[in-house]
Amino acid sequence: MQTDLRGRDLIGDLDFSKEEVETILDVAWDLKMKRAMGEEHAYLRDKVLAMLFFFSSTRTRGSFEAGMAQLGGHAAFIESRTTQISHGDTEKELGEIFGRYFDGIAIRHVDWGIGNRYLNLVAEASRVPVLNMQDEIYHPHQCLADIMTIIEKKGRDLRRKKMVVSWAYASSYLKPISVPQSLILQMPRFGLDVVLAHPPEFKLMPEIMDQAQEQARKFHTGFEVVDDMEEACKDADIIYAKSWGPLLTTQDPVEGKKIQDQYQDWIADDAKMALGKDDVIYMHPLPADREIEVANSVIDGRHSVVFDQAENRLHAQKAVMALTMR
């Protein structure tokens, strides 16, 4: 167990080593048990977390607020458009001042080419940990909940288990690419053979792909890229299918929507799930476009673990906060 996480930022998935991630998971399971048993675990009594949102949220806001309360502290919700951040407060000013007001700063900022840089500049100026609630490159806390859920469902020995990270069609806005990027970085470290599936226009960042391949080599796991969802799903143990925008092809929402609409058959339906193993699990970070991105029979069916996955956001984030903010 690694015990030196106090004061550490979590912005990118590789900021913490595999051993440090395992520590987070061990603490998360302990906190989950304490929550189930009604045992007090106020490890952050009188601590306050600033939660700064540039992008709307349901699960992220709810789980961080509830988590801080359960840890004995308080979370302050701050919406960027209703503060002086929208009128000139800089990243340096925010890091310096919020670093003195608060015991941790959590930020969600997914604007393309802006969000990750913003988080890092705040972190440079802050004397307290900066936690990434999602930017345009990474979604580390979602990924921690995901690996926690996979281990609960498939056991700690994940070697030779096949995980499909697949694009899926959605009729709504062009969603960030941070979830699939975090998944392909983190999952090889735990022994999973990852198959990334997407249409040609929906590639991920080249530097992230290089890092994912490096992690796969380091941990002796498979990493493959295909452009056929059905081919990817064959013999899968885990199917994680969600939409993301063609942001490396175009940032124009109109052009992006035209590209996206060409692939409406990329849906997580019963036929795709039937290609996986009998005990295959379906994962999605939510919200999902029902009957467009995923069939109701899948998201509400026997293979779905999406609600356990959503719950684990709470426990994984509490572990990160307890370890970094204490």
CB 228 within 8 A of CB 198: no
Instruction: Tell me the whole-structure pTM to 2 decimals.
Output: 0.97
Residues 191 and 125 in one domain: no
Report if residue 4 sits inside a domain: no
Residues 159 and 301 in one domain: yes
Report if residue 134 sits inside a domain: yes
Residues 68 and 168 in one domain: no
Predicted confidence at residue 88, as pLDDT, reads 85
Residues 279 and 155 in one domain: yes
Predicted confidence at residue 81, as pLDDT, reads 85
Predicted confidence at residue 83, as pLDDT, reads 84
Q: In whole angstroms, what separates CA 55 from the centre of its chain?
A: 15
Report the interhelical angle of 306-325 vs 140-154 (nearest 10°): 120
Predicted confidence at residue 305, as pLDDT, reads 98
Report if residue 5 sits inside a domain: no
Residues 35 and 172 in one domain: no
Report if residue 3 sits inside a domain: no
At residue 170, the 3 state secondary structure works out as coil
Residues 296 and 157 in one domain: yes
Q: Read off the pLDDT of residues 260-275 as tens digits, 9 standing for 90 and up.
A: 999 999 999 999 999 9
Host domain of residue 269: 149-309
CATH number for the domain including 192? 3.40.50.1370
Residues 154 and 296 in one domain: yes
Predicted confidence at residue 87, as pLDDT, reads 81
Report if residue 2 sits inside a domain: no
Report if residue 6 sits inside a domain: no
Predicted confidence at residue 34, as pLDDT, reads 98
Residues 129 and 174 in one domain: no
pLDDT > 70: percent of the chain: 100
Residues 156 and 47 in one domain: no
List phi, psi (to 5°) of 95.
-65, -45
Kindly write down the DSSP assignment for every residue of 64-106, as one continuous string.
HHHHHHHTT-EEEEEEGGGSGGGGT--HHHHHHHHHHH-SEEE
Report the domain count for the chain.
Answer: 2
Token pair belonging to 82? 């209703």
For residue 225, the cross-strand partners are: 196
CB 145 within 8 A of CB 308: no
Report if residue 8 sits inside a domain: no
- CA dist list (Å): 187 to 5, 19, 86, 148: 21, 13, 37, 11
Residues 161 and 295 in one domain: yes
Report if residue 131 sits inside a domain: yes
Residues 74 and 96 in one domain: yes
Residues 132 and 162 in one domain: no
pLDDT bracket for residue 57 (50, 70, 90): confident
Nearest residue to 286 via CA among 256, 247, 241, 246 = 241
Nearest residue to 186 via CA among 6, 22, 310 = 22
Nearest residue to 41 via CA among 54, 52, 28 = 28
